[in-house]
Amino acid sequence: MTVSVFIDGAAGTTGLEIVERLRGRPEFALGVLEGERRKDAAARREALNDADIAILCLPDDAAREAVTMIDPNARTRVIDASSAHRTAPGWTYGFPELVGRDTVASAARVSNPGCYPTGFLALVAPLVRAGLIPADWPYTVNAASGYSGGGKALIEQFEAGGAPAFRAYGYDMAHKHRPEMKAHAGLVHDVIFAPSVVPAYRGMIVEVPLHLGAMAGDPTAAGLRDALRDFYQDSPVVSVRDESGIGALVLEESARPSDAMELFVFGNEGGWHARLVARLDNLGKGASGAAVQSLNLMCGLDETAGLRLDA
């Protein structure tokens, strides 16, 4: 059976990458609106209500509006790439490794995780759940992202010439990703989040530094690494890497697209400190790859179909 998929916002950065991943897949009949019709409310309403699955690749307000355009009795299921519904009641968080593949498979409303939270949650949520690190710890997240993370507007800025070599931001300490990090890791406190953007198109490194020696239960870097390895042992997307011999992690200026995510746990000799690190493509597992993974599950298909896991 062919599944009809409407991509609202198909001309944007995330939308284009989803189209690329779905193009040529006979299981799907892809619908997009071209030209002026892209933002025509009547055309969007019709397409949203006619689709088996709508994927929203829109700014938050437009994503909220799109959901209200869907008739409550319509069969349309939704995957929202925006941050509008990531902690909203009635929505499933589209992180199959954390919420369960069956939960995503049967969901009518799926909210794609944010790019930075994907790295943070992949590292922290399983360890908090296992009781290896505390839920009531004041966690900090440091991260660097490629500039495609900011969508068309930031891409234009960085490609217009004179891009900064490094731009730190988020100094209002109210970044939109903080609520989903707290909620889906089951934390007591909001995180301190220090994001930055660099002149590479895609890719990101997300780091959680830990004072292990100050935590109850004496967690060790090796213990945390083993727990993550166990947690992701069946995942074709997330892998826990051997950290030995790695002196640096880099983001390539022209990295190939990838839907995989690598996790690292570095620890110092005395065992007091650890640095949990995730490396991923903000447009891969951080956005479009995650949306396609959820789409596959929602359609009863292999979760990796169409994904780029070889990079």
Ligand X SMILES: CC(=O)N[C@@H](CCC(=O)OP(=O)(O)O)C(=O)O
Catalytic machinery residues: 115
CB 76 within 8 A of CB 162: no
Q: How far apart are CA 286 and CA 145, in angstroms?
A: 11
Total chain residues near ligand X (CB under 6 A): 12
Nearby residues of 113 by Cβ (< 8 Å), 6 or more positions away? 86, 93, 94, 95, 121, 180, 184, 286, 290
Q: Which of 85, 102, 25 is nearest to 297 (CA)?
A: 102
Q: Which of residues 77-96 bind ligand X (CB under 6 A)?
A: 82-83
Sign of CA dihedral 262, 304, 58, 114: negative
CB 188 within 8 A of CB 121: no
Supply the minimum distance, in Å, between the C-beta of residue 183 and ligand NDP. 17
Locate tokens 């509006």: which residue? 65
Of 223 and 293, CB closest to ligand X: 293
Supply the minimum distance, in Å, between the C-beta of residue 268 and ligand NDP. 32
- State the binding partner of 258 from ligand X, ligand NDP, none, CB within 5 to 8 A by kind: none
Structure tokens at 93: 């968080």
Question: Is residue 294 close enough to count as binding ligand X by CB under 6 A?
Answer: no
- Catalog residues that contact ligand NDP under the rule CB under 6 A: 8-9, 11-15, 38-39, 57-60, 62, 81-83, 114-115, 148-149, 151-152, 282-283, 286-287
Supply the minimum distance, in Å, between the C-beta of residue 59 and ligand X. 9
Supply the minimum distance, in Å, between the C-beta of residue 242 and ligand NDP. 28
Q: How far apart are CA 114 and CA 195, in angstroms?
A: 13
Of 27 and 65, CB closest to ligand NDP: 65
Q: How far apart are CA 250 and CA 192, in angstroms?
A: 23
Of 117 and 223, CB closest to ligand NDP: 117
Q: How far apart are CA 152 and CA 148, in angstroms?
A: 7
3 state SS of 184: helix
Binding-site member from 114, 203, 284, 289 for ligand X (CB under 6 A):
114
- State the binding partner of 58 from ligand X, ligand NDP, none, CB within 5 to 8 A by kind: ligand NDP
- State the binding partner of 39 from ligand NDP, ligand X, none, CB within 5 to 8 A by kind: ligand NDP
Question: Is residue 219 close enough to count as binding ligand X by CB under 6 A?
Answer: no
Name the pairing type of β-strands 53-56 and 92-93.
Answer: unpaired
Binding-site member from 16, 66, 115, 297 for ligand X (CB under 6 A):
115
Cβ-count burial 93-113 (b if 16+ within 10 Å, e if not)? bbbbbbbeeebbbebebbbbb
Supply the minimum distance, in Å, between the C-beta of residue 249 and ligand NDP. 19
Of 127 and 198, CB closest to ligand NDP: 198
User: Which residues are near ligand X by CB under 6 A?
Assistant: 82-83, 114-115, 145, 149-150, 154, 176-177, 195, 197
